[in-house]
Amino acid sequence: MKALVKDKPQVGLWMQERTVPEIGPEDVLIKVRKTGICGTDIHIWNWDEWAARTVPVGLITGHEFAGEIVAMGAQVTGLHIGQRCSGEGHLIGKLSRQSRAGKFHLDPATRGIGVNEPGAFAEFLRLPAFNVVPLPDVIDDEIGAILDPLGNAVHTALSFDLVGEDVLITGAGPIGIMAAAVARHVGARHVVITDVNQMRLDLAAEVADVTPVNVVHEDLKEVQNRLKIVQGFDVGMEMSGNQQALDQMIDSLVMGGRIAMLGIPPGKSPVDWSRIVFKAITIKGVYGREIFETWYKMIAMLENGLQVRKVITHRFNVADFEAGFGVMASGASGKVVLDWG
């Protein structure tokens, strides 16, 4: 089969012939149809310090996918050949206290496909049947291929009650934009999204009914006044990984405000804790998706009118994967989807 492999410890990925994975009794084999390129894949492409420390050379990359089950292990039940699916890319252990309590997304032994284990940038993917998420007909393959990052957005957005609340999202990357759409869908009053990249702010306004703010040119306080957000934002979602953005968020929050933090700051990041204490702010770190409650909610919302398709700005045949990674790395895109035929 064809697969996109981190074949050398240097910049790039390489298309190679690999053998189709063998499956165990509790696994399924998935024929991959579409995959999404993630910011994580760009780190792996660039072979930055994190990637060099984390990803084994020779690994098949990729973790955002949709496809169809073509083979099943002897002990798999409840699925069938031909089932369209996506799946949770975090492979969990079953031994930790958290897993045994049913909090699978908090298992410390989690390993990621396309990061630690063979991934989805391939014609075929082996996945534990446990991780399979069947897709209803209303979710086509390209939306199925971005459920992993949509799940990050949903997990973050549903961390706090948003009904009637004023929400600030810092970072209009694909995940920030989708979180904005989710916040509106579930009933936030105002959703303000900030970035320094005007193309992405324009995209945010196209995808969802939100107020985009370019913090390079615009004063967030003025926007707050215009929207009559008198005391400050009730809920913040940090989705940039940028220190200034987090600072601005803490500054803009109401007393007792809540922050769900998905963005990953590079290294240690200085924080003025006294402001967090005196404002009585709650900060929740968000990792991955709740397994499988986030998947359930996300599919239910997509069935109930949540629209995120416009966040996909580029589609390529996998033969043109270099162009796809190029546009994703440029910042001049939303989600980029590769078609595996």
- Residues tagged active-site: 40, 43
* Binding mask of the shown chain, residues 140 to 159, with x at each position contacting ligand NAD by CB under 6 A: ------------x-------
The answer to whether the CB of 11 falls within 8 A of the CB of 329 is no
Q: How far is it, in rounded angstroms, from Cα 204 to Cα 66?
A: 24
Given ligand NAD, Zn ion, none, residue 232, with its beta carbon under 5 to 8 Å by kind, binds: none
Q: How far is it, in rounded angstroms, from Cα 294 to Cα 282?
A: 21
CB of 177 to Zn ion, least distance (A): 14
* 322 three-class SS: helix
- Which residues make beta-bridge pairs with 16? 3
CB of 112 to Zn ion, least distance (A): 9
Contact flag: residue 324 with ligand NAD (CB under 6 A): no
Amino acid letter at 84?
A: R
DSSP 286-318: --S--TTHHHHHHHHHHHTT---GGGEEEEEEG
Stretch that binds ligand NAD, among 17-25, 56-64, 196-204, 252-260 (CB under 6 A): 196-204
Q: What Rg value do the Cα atoms of the chain yield, rounded?
A: 20
Count Cβ atoms below 10 Å from residue 231 Cβ, excluding itself.
12
H or E element: which one contains 71? Answer: strand 64-72
| Site residues (CB under 6 A) for ligand NAD, limited to 63-122 | none
Residue in 87, 171, 232, 236 binding ligand NAD, rule: CB under 6 A: 171
CB of 240 to ligand NAD, least distance (A): 3
Contact flag: residue 1 with ligand NAD (CB under 6 A): no
* Cβ proximity to ligand NAD, 23 vs 157, nearer residue: 157
Q: How far is it, in rounded angstroms, from Cα 226 to Cα 221?
A: 9
Residue in 87, 114, 176, 232 binding ligand NAD, rule: CB under 6 A: 176
User: Shortest CA distance to 65 belongs to which of 114, 11, 8, 14?
Assistant: 114
Contact flag: residue 332 with ligand NAD (CB under 6 A): no
CB of 107 to ligand NAD, least distance (A): 14
Contact set with Zn ion (CB under 5 A): 38, 64, 148-149
Q: Which residues bind ligand NAD (CB under 6 A)?
A: 39, 152, 170-176, 194-197, 200, 215, 239-242, 244-245, 262-264, 286-288
